[in-house]
Amino acid sequence: MTNPKTSPMQSLSKAVTVNDNPFMKPVEWVSLLLLAGVILVVLPLMLDGFRLNLVGKYLTYAFVALGLVICWGYAGILSLGQGVFFGLGGYCMAMYLKLEASSVENTKIQSTPGIPDFMDWNQITSLPWFWHPFQSLPLTLILVVAVPVAFAFLISVAMFKRRVGGTYFAIITQAIAAILTILIVGQQGYTGGINGITDLRTLHGWDIRQDSAKFILYFVNGGLLIGCILMAQYVKKSKLGRILVAMREKEDRVRFSGYSVAGFKVFAFCLAAAFAAIGGAMFTLQVGFMSPSFVGIVPSIEMVIYAAVGGRLSLFGAVWGTLLVNWAKTSFSESFPDLWLFGLGGLFIAVVLIFPNGLAGIWREHIEPRLFRKAKSLAPVASPALPHGAPAE
Amino acid sequence: MAKDRSDTENGPRSPLRRTLLMGMAGLPALALMPRTAFAAAPISAVNTTGLAVTDTEVTVGILHSATGTMAISETGSIQAEKLAIAQINEMGGVLGRKIKVIQEDGASDWPTFAEKAKKLLVNDHCAAVMGCWTSASRKAALPVFEQYNGLLYYPTFYEGLEQSKNVIYTGQEATQQILASLDWVAKEKGAKSFFMVGSDYIWPRTSNKIARKHIENVLKGTVSGEEYFPLGHTQFNSVINKIKLKKPDVIFADVVGGSNVAFYKQLKAAGIDLNKQTLLTISVTEDEIDGIGGDNIAGAYSCMKYFQSLKNPNNEAFVAAFKKMWGEKTVIGDVTQAAYLGPFLWKMSVEKAGSFDVDKVAAASAGIEFKEAPEGYVKIHPNHHLWSKTRVAKALPTGQFEVVYESPELIEPNPFPKGYQ
């Protein structure tokens, strides 16, 4: 009974598509190639430096949406506080960059040279202890992921061990996002306050403000994103992924089957936090600053919307959703500075009303069957008619 | 008249050019401005850095929040900048070229300001940008302006501690706003003890730091309390109780935005009569009173460099033109006036430099005088801030201010004040 493949549950046997279970089905390979092609080839060829940098920024949100697909779509844990992890990752990176930009030489007009400018404005005369690790690049790169994951681990262990779940968990994550924002804003001598950490210049001597640096960072970002997609795909396909789906559908049955539900939930939540943190760090590198406006409730909910628009059960859909929403946001606001929010609101309502499964739903129901009609007859294993990983309801 | 009014409320898109032109007749001073540049110089001479300048047009960006929590404050700045640009175009433009505006929405979101600033500079090649409002939005956009060598005209009074080749600060820095008014309140009201209440971010904290040093070191007074609240906070009862307990001579307030409404209403509800308890604020203009309600704040003193009620011919013409363009009911606050200065200061700097190139315009800025400013005479200091007067005014129940004090001389801007850091 512990093997979900043989589980009598309809929902499970539907979620587990085929018995031989390849890492990726042909359809998914096509989706991956399409996405990689667009991100790494088509967009860089089509767009100028400015627009490409914008796409790079959007793609950093896609990391968060990707994490939400695993955490919310598969494991059924809705987190309205992903901005916390995005922000922590981003702040870790920003602290390193800020220290590098605040060399004694650059800050000699301050009363205490060699510390970040906002500390000087707040009468702080020496570097606080928690800034010290960020003087080293390797340590920073580890902390970018480690700090948010450790924080996610603490929150999720505290809550899932006590079987707090569902709406309660969502509300608590939201509260944490609010608390962290207030903390960052309130401690402006240590964190830069509401202005955030601005005016970042170099990464280990490499000027990240140049166009060439932005170009390279875009590809690093794209590569990392595809790496994360593959990792998420691995989790999704593994036994672990099936247990997550089972948990989402009937948590008690999984628990009675002898699994430690809390442990799996903690894992899913930490994985989502790690993805978000990588996104946050890449955001800081590409945009050149970090501020508490990415940590709060509004951006956290916005990130859930990206996943919802893309389709919360589709890894690729999440990336497309993020790109679409942000592209709409930018172009609406450029064309209609006074009215664009209404346009964006309309888009969300339309998606939820007409395409409850998001972009991925449209793809699966309308495009995929047509594209793969031939492939189906050749390779029946692919079974494209079955919505893979879709919930039974 | 009533019909006229409804016409004007249609905003700038209505066919108002002619009426506007007539309104401009009330600005005789503007006609005195240098007309030397009316014969357009060839592009090659005025633009060597690839800015968006043609034989007939020059592109300028406007970057403020038209949406989000800051929209209520920033709308006035957008309106003032559009009015100034319309007036400049009526006068023949800049170096013979009409100004074309590209407006972007910062959406009260700091990263969006950075993104849009970059768009205006990199994509649209704007010769200058009028914009930003909060310190946070300026801090986010500043590296972009420095990297792509843009030119920003920033209208808000702010905390100082900054000076950039790429920014002209048309508002006051903190010492210009605070010191003279503290001297006034100490002398006029014999104030010795002060209680500070502010929103929790860089501007109130820095302003209070400067005020505290001045109170303790120069005025030999005491600060009996200093409290901060998050932006958007609406519960001030605990601090009001403390104020009642400490009985300070002066409440020194720099609460911003929506929090103001709650703060003044709760003060009134707690029985603190501002006609008896002196309150000095550096964050309330006519725009804020619109939300607070004149009755709730009547009796408080505000220190700014400009009030709508200023009596001088420049201001009367400005107020009339503003109302003609944007409706009778609009009010004009300190920042709105500062925003109005931006396009004119840019025009004069460009004409002095004889070029749109940012480096030349920035270099030509120092020493530019604008005698037709609604606030009176202003002049750009080599540190890119403005020489301006400090004024203290008492809030009236009508929502307007009555000026009670004006510094006799223009006050020198000093963004890095010695002894106040």
The tens-digit pLDDT sequence of chain B (421 residues) is 444 444 444 444 455 555 555 555 555 544 444 444 444 678 888 888 889 999 999 999 999 998 877 887 899 999 999 999 999 999 999 999 999 999 999 988 888 899 899 999 999 999 999 999 988 899 999 999 999 999 999 999 998 889 999 999 999 999 999 998 999 999 999 999 999 999 888 889 889 989 999 999 999 999 999 999 887 788 999 999 999 999 999 999 999 877 889 999 999 999 999 999 999 999 999 988 988 999 999 999 999 999 999 999 999 999 999 999 999 999 999 999 999 999 999 999 999 999 999 999 999 999 999 999 999 999 999 999 999 999 999 999 999 999 999 999 999 999 988 887 7
Distance of CA B234 to the CA centre of its chain: 25
Question: Which amino acid does the sequence have at A292?
Answer: P
What would the pLDDT profile of B86-125 be if each residue is shown by its tens digit? 999 999 999 999 999 999 999 888 888 998 999 999 999 9
Q: Do A293 and B123 touch (CB under 8 A)?
A: no
Q: What pLDDT shows up at residue B8?
A: 42
ipTM above 0.90, yes or no: no
Q: Are B206 and A121 an interchain contact pair (Cβ–Cβ within 8 Å)?
A: yes
Q: How many beta-carbon pairs under 8 angstroms link A with B?
A: 95
Out of A186, A330, A337, closest to residue B103 by CB: A337
Tell me the shortest Cα–Cα distance from B149 to chain A, in angstroms: 13
Residue of B nearest to A333 (CA): B105
* Strand bridging mode B222-229 / B193-199: parallel
At A6 the pLDDT is 43
Closest CA to B415 of A103, A58, A109: A109
Reported pTM? 0.80
Those residues whose C-beta lies under 8 Å from the C-beta of residue A252, and which sit 6 or more positions away, are: none
Position B289: which residue type?
I
Please tell me which of the candidates A193, A200, A209 has its beta carbon nearest to residue B202: A193
Q: How far is B216 from chain A (nearest CA, A)?
A: 17
- State which amino acid sits at residue A318: A
Judge contact between B286 and B332, C-beta under 8 A: yes
DSSP conformation class of B57: E
The whole-angstrom separation of Cα A330 and Cα B404 is 47
Task: Return the residue in A53, A91, A117, A121 with the most chain B beta carbons within 10 A, the one to mutate for interface testing.
Answer: A121
Rounded Cα distance between B268 and B180, Å, is 27
Chain A partners within 8 Å of B198 (Cβ): none
B225: enclosing H helix or E strand: strand B222-229
* B residues 182-241 lying closer than 8 A (beta carbon) to A: 200-202, 205-206, 209, 228, 230-231
- Report the Cα A198 to chain-centroid distance in Å: 22
> Are B111 and A289 an interchain contact pair (Cβ–Cβ within 8 Å)?
yes
| Nearest-angstrom CA–CA distance, B128 and B353 | 14
Angle at A272 between CA A266 and CA A277, to 5 degrees: 120
CB B307 within 8 A of CB B406: no
Rounded-to-integer distance, Cα A231 and Cα A89, Å: 19
- The residues near B91 (Cβ < 8 Å, ≥ 6 apart) are B24, B30, B31, B33
Beta strand B369-370 pairing with B301-304: unpaired
C-alpha distance from residue A226 to each of A233, A238, A240, B244 (Å): 10, 18, 21, 61
Reading the block at residue A218, the tokens are 């875009």
Q: Report the C-alpha gap between B280 and B254 in whole angstroms.
A: 9
Q: With DSSP H G I counted as helix, E B as strand and the rest as coil, what are the percentages for chain B, rounded to 5?
A: 45, 20, 40
Q: Which residues pair with B406 in a beta bridge?
A: B391
Handedness of CA A39, A98, B155, A194 (dihedral sign): positive
Query: Quick one: CA dihedral A131, A134, A139, A142, positive or negative?
Result: positive
Phi, psi for A41 (deg, rounded to 5):
-120, -55
Q: How far apart are CA B176 and CA B199, in angstroms?
A: 20
Which single residue is written with the structure tokens 């592109």?
B59
For an interface test with B, give the residue of A98, A102, A194 to mutate (most B CBs within 10 A).
A194
Which helix (H) or strand (E) covers residue B250, if one does? Answer: strand B250-254
**What is chain A's alpha carbon radius of gyration, rounded to the nearest angstrom?**
22
Q: How many CB atoms lie within 10 A of CB B133?
A: 27
3-state secondary structure of B413: coil
**B31-68: per-residue pLDDT in tens?**
444 444 444 678 888 888 889 999 999 999 999 998 87
> Residue A188 and residue B115: Cβ atoms within 8 Å?
no
Cβ-contact B397, B289 below 8 angstroms: no
